[in-house]
Amino acid sequence: MAEAVAYLNNRRVSVAWNGERLVTGRADGPLEFDGEGSLLVWDLRGILKNRPAPGPLPLNPKRETLVDSGMAWGEDVIDAIMADRGSVIVPLRSLRGWGELDEALAYAELEMVSLDWAEEPVAAHADFQGDVVELLRQLLRRNIPRVMVNCLDGSFPFIPAGLSGSVRLDVAMLTDGHPPNWAGEVFHLG
């Protein structure tokens, strides 16, 4: 499994799903990015408060770093990309529908979006709720090659084999367990 960290106010924190929203635990210590291999970073200030601030994030140029800074608006994408703090993940959780995702795509070519999952897609807008297969097809039509599925409650969506071969599906897990067989890279937020 690849490493994943959640941080808030430059401190590493634990994170859990309470059935309705993400909640943070105690702060474990300073944020450090030593090591090798892929690293997933959840900026909880941005995710919980809809105020992304990727600038102060220290990074290790030797690692592939994926950053979910909780963007609330399509135009936040350009700020995150310009901060050059790793590969930007655009979360579907807070976007205002396909129109706003298309607006984000107008700013930059996106490498990855994330989809929160707790028995079903978890998102603020109805465009991103419902059938996960149709969601993935819509993302493929927009030439988004990679999706991070954030498994909040330990459940995983059913992904048909033909579709899982068309898009790279990585998984971020908040709970212990075995990842699904369609998962590419697997990250564990401890």
Q: In this prediction, what percent of the chain has a pLDDT beyond 70?
A: 78
Question: What integer pLDDT is reported at residue 58 of this predicted model?
Answer: 60
CA distance 46 to 43: 6
Query: What amino acid is encoded at 49 in this protein?
Result: K
What are the structural domains, with CATH classification, of the chain?
A: 2-189 (3.20.20.70)
Instruction: Look at residue 12 in the predicted model and tell me its pLDDT.
Output: 82
Q: What is the pLDDT of residues 60-117, one digit of tens each?
A: 666 777 778 776 555 566 566 555 556 778 888 878 899 988 887 877 777 789 999 9
* pLDDT mean across residues, the chain: 82
The answer to whether residue 32 scores a pLDDT higher than 80 is: no
| pTM score of the predicted model | 0.85
**Is pLDDT of 54 > 70?**
no
Structure confidence at residue 56 (pLDDT): 57
Q: Give the pLDDT mean for 161-171.
A: 88
pLDDT of residue 140: 93
What is the predicted pLDDT for the residue at 161? 85
% the chain with pLDDT above 90: 34
Where residue 182 falls among pLDDT bands split at 50, 70, 90?
A: very high
